[in-house]
Structure 1
Amino acid sequence: MADQEERNALLDNEEEEESDDEMFQLVVHEEIADSDEEDGEDDETGDGRERGNDGEKFDRALPATHSYLGDGMDELSGRTVLDSEKEIELPLLPMYGVVLMPGETLPLHLFMPQFVTMMKRCLEGNKTFGVCTIKSGSDTDEFSDVGTTAEIFSVKEDTSGGIHTMTVKATGRQRFKIISKRRQSDRVIIATVSVLADEPLVARPAVAFACPRELMLAPCEQVVNTGERGKDGCVTVSKGKAKMLQQLRRDPPCLSPLPSWVYRMFDPFILTHRVANELLAWSQNMVIKHQSDNPTEFSYWVAANLPLDDTLRLELLMTNSVIYRLQKELDVISKYSSFCCRHCDAPIGHKDDVFSMSVDGALASYVNPGGYVHQTLTLYKVTNLSIISRPVTQDSWFPGYAWSIAQCSRCHSHMGWRFTSSRHGLRPSKFYGITRSSIKPAIVQPQNGDEEGGKSRMCRQS
């Protein structure tokens, strides 16, 4: 009889635990709905967009430091530049869902002995290794033919618990093409690669006028007819030079035999300006880097920040022409409408909701405690997502925010996280981080036979 009572008590406990689990799922979804309604009372959009000047604004420089990796990292100096068009040997780090661009920061948690050994050897040499993208649905021996060298600039080793681990921060440097590869006895992949160089840019005709580059890129309303420099950073020139500049901007090929429209299509600085304007048309909260410094660096920064699938991203990485890369980016940005779930095509977000939570841009690489690197896009608002965990502040990529796991409400695949402020008054109050590998872009395509250039939305299959 006592055994029977014990058995009944255990069954009752199990039923209560199951009921609690079900209740937790219901409470989570109810909290989302309530939160949106509450936000909607103070905010027309019902999302995490900043309204007014009240509260503490988040410091966008914090995510770029990757402070969640912990203290005690050794900073390394120096820069390694590999000779272009020469064959060299590089140790390779194949990665899922990561297409590294030159200039992009790559954080790593390494646990596997072969990769820890590989990094230690890199530190003894030129601190450089190669990063390649593993093809979807394949093993680690099948990866892209092109990749990017990564140079270690910060490192920390840990032997606690009897396991040798390594935390690394590296920067993407130069593109390369794999010629051959082999696997060593320690399972490290060594590849013979040819370093790819970008085609040199031709000096623009504006140089003949001794016209500074920033004048050519400055918006028309910022060109002031005075001889002083504006306190707000506006470019100011004399009346005569302003008139000359306006003529040059209207008809830039005045020193070129090419027609005006051809010139504008192939001038890298004009393309840079047009791409930046298209990005700002998405959102005024986009951080634009390298706009007037270097078209080559800017083209890579744009490629790193666009939420594209691996196919498009690798296409941008492969090209040696900066001009073609900028043209391709301009074409994609102008047609980009939204993005959907990679697995079930459920609409997830719109380009208008993309914003920069980091000084590096709207999309950046972050690593979780398990060592998985996620290239993550930040948005104010999303659709068709379910939150399946309680908020947690530990190991948060964004200091002051708690993360909750988000999955597609249709196919239940992992999509990313919702971040909610854990400090009162911190702005934005909430936002979403969606992994690039979980989405695919919806490109607006022209319809055949539409005289007015009608367009339809379609998701690009990855």
Structure 2
Amino acid sequence: MDDERILESERHQIEQIRQLEFEELQVEEVDDLHDSSDDDRDVTGADSSSEFTFNTCLASLHTYLGEVEDTHHRLAFLDGGAILTIPLFYLEGVVLFPEATLPLRVIQPNFVAAVERALTQVDAPYTIGVVRVCGDPNNRRMRFATTGTTAEIRQYRRLEDGSLNVVTRGQQRFHLRRRWIDVEGVPCGEVQIIQEDLPVRTPRDACGKFGPMNNLQNHSLSRTLPSNTSSHGYGNEDNDSEANSEESFESELSPTERRIHQSAIFSLYGNDMMDESTSSDDDKFVSDLDTQSRRPPANDSDSIANWKQSENVALQIGESSTLGRQTHKGDGSNLSCRSFELSKFRRVPRAHWPYWVYSMYDSYSLAQRAAEKWKQIVGTPNMDGFVKKPDLLSFHIASKIPVSESTRQELLEIDGISYRLRREIELLECFDLVRCKSCKTAIARRSDMLVMSSDGPLGAYVNPHGCVHEIMTLYKVNGLALDGGAHTQYSWFPGYAWTISICHTCESHMGWLFTTTNKKLKPKSFWGIRSSQVVDGIREDKTSSNI
């Protein structure tokens, strides 16, 4: 009866696995349909019948700053953990990431002095530190973030009134250890450069000394098959290192643990061989050799008891694999179907965690998922060049993802490439609404996004008064009103005039409406919404069905 219950349980599990695989195939087909529709749509968000004619490279050049001189200086990266003193810029509503561009209009004398010092300092020339600040609603004081980014001065220009126009580029994250104002009024800070981790295939702590089964198979069979027997192409160039890892692992096991481990490995690989060859001689060969290698001496009662326990483990594993094989043979599956099932079994890990757990923290797998999700939601620019550089991709998405300022600061503070990418994928999947930070009114949907810069749907721009704004561009919005007339001076988008826009409900300054001054430019209009004035909205929220 016990055997019948075990068999019935195994049949039920196999049916569940088949059902899940069928559902995964259906999901992949649906995703393909979505991807094709997203590729066909106009990524600018404009009407598909209209042609997009604006040169998006102009916005990323910040031509409104006028002529700026190149410093012709490229800073070498500082070692992780290095401590240095640099001038600081405190910016409200801005989160700077490595590799992101930050324009500055420096008017205040103390910050002008900060730039001048950065141009001449010895330890880190042409370098400033950028830290986000925000108001504390409880005591009306400013709160300073403890994680910021160094910025290299790439271009600058001194104006006649003593102000500076500066274009910087983010370099490395740092922890702010302490800050002060020196005798000359220059904001300074002692910062420690954060040591960034390297992209990894699998989490080291979870894997330990275990290797994937498909890499180990060639090594395991080499101990059971004659030297002239082919491994059927299971091995690869990493087999030697995997074999050494396996031998080292087994050497640290107790005799009982080693027998149980080997019985499980031999049982799985023996079943794989039987699936591919279906030879009774091979069955007998593997079974006999497996039994001989594990049978204890007859006079050792403790070893015999342990051996019987390992035999039960091997029997359960073997019955599971055999049942799956018999089921496929019964329904007339061909060799390719059995090979497909075998590939599934070979992906089963020998560690305590299943294969999908490893992929959850594989930097390169996550980078591929993030790039595909970005293409599906944002459309442009293309992220394929970043897939092989997960660290740069994680910072690029974080600097351009159209979410609130506080969420982007959260991304800056995350240590670990895999964890940052996982959080970004989560944000891209759930991001659906743009809401007013003050009154929570939903003003736009994800589908309303418009890419007006080659940098992406979100970028930093500075106005004539020195205020830096990070804005997300949208094709259309809901619930905003215009305040005043249109102006062309200092326009961030050449060929467009700007008009201040406010929330119709709470009258907060949300951003600007940009309208074309050139009949040949398309789109005719779009909106720039301040990221500091929005709060994240998720797809599950149903209160905004009026959009």
TM-score by length of structure 2 reads 0.62
After TM superposition, the structure 1 = structure 2 runs for residues 82-161 of structure 1, keeping only pairs within 5 Å, are: 82-125=78-121, 126-137=125-136, 142-159=143-160
Structure 2 counterpart of 1:275:
370
* Counterpart among 165, 175, 178 of residue 177 in structure 1: 175
Mapped contact 1:253–1:263 kept (Cα < 8 A): no
Structure 1 counterpart of 2:261:
none
Structure 1 counterpart of 2:184:
186
After TM superposition, give the deviation of residue 278 of structure 1 in Å: 2.1
Deviations 1:152-184 (A, max 9, x none): 00000012xxx3101100001100011122211
Mapped contact 1:287–1:362 kept (Cα < 8 A): no
After TM superposition, give the deviation of residue 71 of structure 1 in Å: 1.7
After TM superposition, give the deviation of residue 76 of structure 1 in Å: 2.8
* Counterpart among 53, 57, 64 of residue 53 in structure 2: 57
After TM superposition, give the deviation of residue 187 of structure 1 in Å: 2.2
- Distance, in Å, in 2 between the alignment partners of 1:61 and 1:365 is 14
After TM superposition, the structure 1 = structure 2 runs for residues 355-394 of structure 1, keeping only pairs within 5 Å, are: 355-394=450-489
* Counterpart among 188, 193, 196 of residue 195 in structure 1: 193
After TM superposition, the structure 1 = structure 2 runs for residues 344-423 of structure 1, keeping only pairs within 5 Å, are: 344-423=439-518
After TM superposition, the structure 1 = structure 2 runs for residues 245-394 of structure 1, keeping only pairs within 5 Å, are: 259-285=354-380, 287-288=382-383, 290-394=385-489
Deviations 1:97-126 (A, max 9, x none): 111111110000011111111101111131
Structure 1 residues 437 and 251, CA, compared in 2 at 3 Å: closer, same or farther? farther
After TM superposition, give the deviation of residue 293 of structure 1 in Å: 3.8
After TM superposition, give the deviation of residue 310 of structure 1 in Å: 3.5
Could you tell me which amino acid in structure 1 is paired with residue 360 of structure 2? M
After TM superposition, give the deviation of residue 318 of structure 1 in Å: 1.3
Mapped contact 1:50–1:427 kept (Cα < 8 A): no
- Distance, in Å, in 1 between the alignment partners of 2:405 and 2:127 is 23
Structure 1 residues 337 and 248, CA, compared in 2 at 3 Å: closer, same or farther? farther
- Distance, in Å, in 1 between the alignment partners of 2:343 and 2:47 is 36
Q: Between Structure 1 and Structure 2, which shows a larger proportion of helix residues? A: 2
SS in 2 for 1:428: coil
- Distance, in Å, in 2 between the alignment partners of 1:249 and 1:90 is 55
Mapped contact 1:340–1:442 kept (Cα < 8 A): yes
Q: Between Structure 1 and Structure 2, which shows a larger proportion of strand residues? A: 1
Mapped contact 1:104–1:172 kept (Cα < 8 A): yes
Deviations 1:287-330 (A, max 9, x none): 54743241111101111112333332222111220000001111
- Distance, in Å, in 2 between the alignment partners of 1:194 and 1:253 is 42
After TM superposition, the structure 1 = structure 2 runs for residues 427-446 of structure 1, keeping only pairs within 5 Å, are: 427-444=522-539
After TM superposition, give the deviation of residue 397 of structure 1 in Å: 0.7
- Distance, in Å, in 1 between the alignment partners of 2:517 and 2:468 is 24
After TM superposition, give the deviation of residue 363 of structure 1 in Å: 0.3
Structure 2 counterpart of 1:456:
541
- Distance, in Å, in 2 between the alignment partners of 1:249 and 1:154 is 55
Mapped contact 2:71–2:153 kept (Cα < 8 A): no
- Distance, in Å, in 2 between the alignment partners of 1:252 and 1:99 is 45
Structure 1 residues 249 and 133, CA, compared in 2 at 3 Å: closer, same or farther? farther
Structure 2 counterpart of 1:450:
none
Structure 1 residues 184 and 384, CA, compared in 2 at 3 Å: closer, same or farther? same
CA radius of gyration, larger in: 2
Deviations 1:117-153 (A, max 9, x none): 1101111131001001112247786311110001000
Structure 1 counterpart of 2:520:
425
After TM superposition, give the deviation of residue 345 of structure 1 in Å: 1.0
- Distance, in Å, in 2 between the alignment partners of 1:264 and 1:372 is 43
- Distance, in Å, in 1 between the alignment partners of 2:509 and 2:106 is 23
Structure 1 residues 385 and 53, CA, compared in 2 at 3 Å: closer, same or farther? closer
Structure 1 gap ranges (5+): 1-44, 212-245, 445-454
- Distance, in Å, in 2 between the alignment partners of 1:426 and 1:250 is 54
Could you tell me which amino acid in structure 2 is paired with residue 341 of structure 1? C
Structure 1 residues 197 and 247, CA, compared in 2 at 3 Å: closer, same or farther? farther
Mapped contact 1:286–1:355 kept (Cα < 8 A): no
Mapped contact 2:68–2:165 kept (Cα < 8 A): no
The CA RMSD measured in Å over matched residues stands at 3.0
Q: Percent identity?
A: 32
Structure 1 residues 128 and 254, CA, compared in 2 at 3 Å: closer, same or farther? farther
Structure 2 gap ranges (5+): 1-41, 203-211, 216-234, 239-339
Could you tell me which amino acid in structure 1 is paired with residue 112 of structure 2? V
After TM superposition, give the deviation of residue 274 of structure 1 in Å: 1.3
Mapped contact 1:279–1:286 kept (Cα < 8 A): no
The range that moved more, 140-149 or 164-173, is 140-149
- Distance, in Å, in 1 between the alignment partners of 2:107 and 2:181 is 19
Structure 1 residues 78 and 358, CA, compared in 2 at 3 Å: closer, same or farther? same
Could you tell me which amino acid in structure 2 is paired with residue 197 of structure 1? Q
Runs of 4 or more, structure 1, over 6 Å off, are 138-141, 204-211, 246-252
Tell whether 2:62 aligns with 1:66: yes
Structure 1 residues 88 and 457, CA, compared in 2 at 3 Å: closer, same or farther? farther
Deviations 1:213-250 (A, max 9, x none): xxxxxxxxxxxxxxxxxxxxxxxxxxxxxxxxx99998
After TM superposition, give the deviation of residue 53 of structure 1 in Å: 6.1
Could you tell me which amino acid in structure 2 is paired with residue 49 of structure 1? A
TM-score by length of structure 1 reads 0.72
- Distance, in Å, in 2 between the alignment partners of 1:170 and 1:357 is 21
After TM superposition, give the deviation of residue 334 of structure 1 in Å: 1.2
Mapped contact 1:336–1:351 kept (Cα < 8 A): yes
- Distance, in Å, in 2 between the alignment partners of 1:266 and 1:368 is 41
Could you tell me which amino acid in structure 2 is paired with residue 108 of structure 1? L
Structure 1 residues 203 and 270, CA, compared in 2 at 3 Å: closer, same or farther? closer
After TM superposition, give the deviation of residue 267 of structure 1 in Å: 1.3
Mapped contact 1:288–1:361 kept (Cα < 8 A): no
- Distance, in Å, in 2 between the alignment partners of 1:419 and 1:275 is 31
- Distance, in Å, in 1 between the alignment partners of 2:346 and 2:49 is 42
The range that moved more, 365-374 or 277-286, is 277-286
- Distance, in Å, in 1 between the alignment partners of 2:471 and 2:345 is 41
- Distance, in Å, in 1 between the alignment partners of 2:344 and 2:99 is 33
Could you tell me which amino acid in structure 1 is paired with residue 182 of structure 2? Q
After TM superposition, give the deviation of residue 74 of structure 1 in Å: 3.5
Mapped contact 2:499–2:513 kept (Cα < 8 A): yes
- Distance, in Å, in 2 between the alignment partners of 1:298 and 1:210 is 29
Could you tell me which amino acid in structure 2 is paired with residue 456 of structure 1? D
